[in-house]
Amino acid sequence: MSMTTKKDIRSLRAEELRDYFLSIDEPKYRADQVYQWLWQKSAHSFSDMSNLPKGLRDKLEEQFIVHELTVHTRQKSADGTIKYAFELSDGNMVEGVLIPTAKRLTACISTQVGCSLACKFCATGMLKRMRNLAYSEIYDQVVVINEEAKREYGKGLTNIVYMGMGEPLLNYANTMESVAKITQEQGLHMSAKRITISTAGIAKMIRQMGEEKSKVKLALSLHAANDEKRNSIMAINESNNLQILAEALNYYYSHTKQKITFEYIIFKGFNDTLTDAKELLDFCRKVPSKVNIIEYNDVEGTEFKQADQDKVDAFAAYLENNGVIAKVRRSRGKDIDAACGQLANK
């Protein structure tokens, strides 16, 4: 069987793997051993699976492949942030970032090659969407960054954010399956509470997350709390406007009891006034939420600029004084284009 026709064994669910082993007259526990090698031990070669008989390893080698992503380039920022260009088995590239802070080690990971949403301020939005990532490709980014965190900082990841390239909720099944693999005992066994999925606002899938009582945190890239402004920078708002989003977010909250985080990139002369802050406050009052105000990071080819510091401080203070939890997030990794909105396979 040629490499091209071999099936990626990690595309099989646990029960499918068991069915396969029964079909070749192997006991069910062999499937569990292989599953553990693939997900808990991140083995990419059947020859590594030392508790399997050699004949079985050879048979698996003939039938299957374990696709692997590799680190194509690695750049380290002055602030300790590390950006990776990951090469996928088909030659496509995605980026991931390790972000160290005093209390956290966070992996920022991608869910699509490119992105179809074309938000005006985002470098990834300038790339066209090539394809969705498989759940194993999303998972592997976390494995690589986790190992790197241990090497660089002496401990593993504390948090994962789905805020890299692509819109996670437009690759819903693979995104959620990767979360399942990251959180399961036979995987990385991380707490779902330490995982945040960030969306530009796909109301239908936000509702689905609610119905499935998703345990991960949800963040909405808001950036403007009136439809006219949001339409002008995020085309997705035309089909998923603020009213539709508020209803979906409340539906999600009613099922999960998890507050939503609104991400608000503050742009000079666009959304940095107290009128904008008042609109955001009104929107926050519709949905149980808190706000992360994010510094803008310059992206070549866009007209946007970072708001003046006094405007940012006044904006945050207005929200805080009116009872909204609002934090200003300082950007990290700017010098290597690893900060929010800058991922574009450079």
| Contact between 210 and 252 (Cβ < 8 Å) | yes
| Contact between 66 and 10 (Cβ < 8 Å) | yes
Q: For the residues of 233-276, what is the DSSP string, one character each?
A: H-GGGGTS-HHHHHHHHHHHHHHH--PEEEEEEEBTTTS-SHHH
How would you write 10-43 as a 3-class SS string?
Answer: HHCCHHHHHHHHHHCCCCHHHHHHHHHHHHCCCC
Q: Which of 95, 167, 263, 295 is catalytic?
A: 95
- The β-bridge relationship of strands 159-162 and 105-108 is parallel
Is 340 noted as a catalytic residue in this protein? yes
Q: Which one-letter amino acid corresponds to residue 337?
A: D
Q: Which one-letter amino acid corresponds to residue 15?
A: E
| Contact between 296 and 306 (Cβ < 8 Å) | yes
Q: Which of 119, 122, 284, 340 is catalytic?
A: 340
Is 95 noted as a catalytic residue in this protein? yes
Helix (H), strand (E) at residue 65:
strand 64-65
Rounded to whole angstroms, how far apart are CA atoms 141 and 119? Answer: 24
Q: For the residues of 178-237, what is the DSSP string, one character each?
A: HHHHHHSTTTT---GGGEEEEES--HHHHHHHHHTT--SEEEEE-S-SSHHHHHHH-GGG
Any idea how long the chain is?
A: 346
Rounded to whole angstroms, how far apart are CA atoms 104 and 90? Answer: 33
Catalytic residue positions, numbered? 95, 340
